[in-house]
Structures are given as C-alpha cells and as structure tokens.
Amino acid sequence: MDKDRIEGSANQAKGAVKEAAGKVTGDTKLQAEGKADKAAGKVQNAVGGVKDAIRDATKN
C-alpha cells in the first residue's frame, strides 16, 4: 500500500473529526476546514491508489 493512501485516509479521518466538531460547536470555519481536509484526503488516497495500480501492473 502506498504511503499516499495511508496519509490520505488519515487526512479524511482528521477532516471528519474537524467537521463534526465544527457542527457541534457552531464553528463554521472549523467545519469548512474539516471539509477541505476530507477532500484533500480523498484526492491523496486516489493518487496512492493509482500508484498502487501502476506498481501492480508493472510487476506482472
């Protein structure tokens, strides 16, 4: 598994926590940061998936 996938998943989780905390506290800035972190994590996870696919394809 590519490190980008691991970091991307961690960023998604961090973003979900921030977003939830923002909703609970009514902090729209924190909520927006959480959404941004989740989106960045999804992109990073996808990049890692592509890297894994390329790596697997070149092994065969």
Instruction: Spell out the domain ranges in the chain.
Output: 3-59
Q: What is the CA radius of gyration of the chain?
A: 15
pTM confidence score: 0.83
Whether residue 1 has pLDDT greater than 80: no
Q: What per-residue confidence (pLDDT) applies to 2?
A: 82
**pLDDT band, very low/low/confident/very high, at 60 (cuts 50, 70, 90):** low
**Residue 27 and residue 34: Cα distance in Å, rounded?**
11
pLDDT tens figures, 4-50: 999 999 999 999 999 999 999 999 999 999 999 999 999 999 999 99
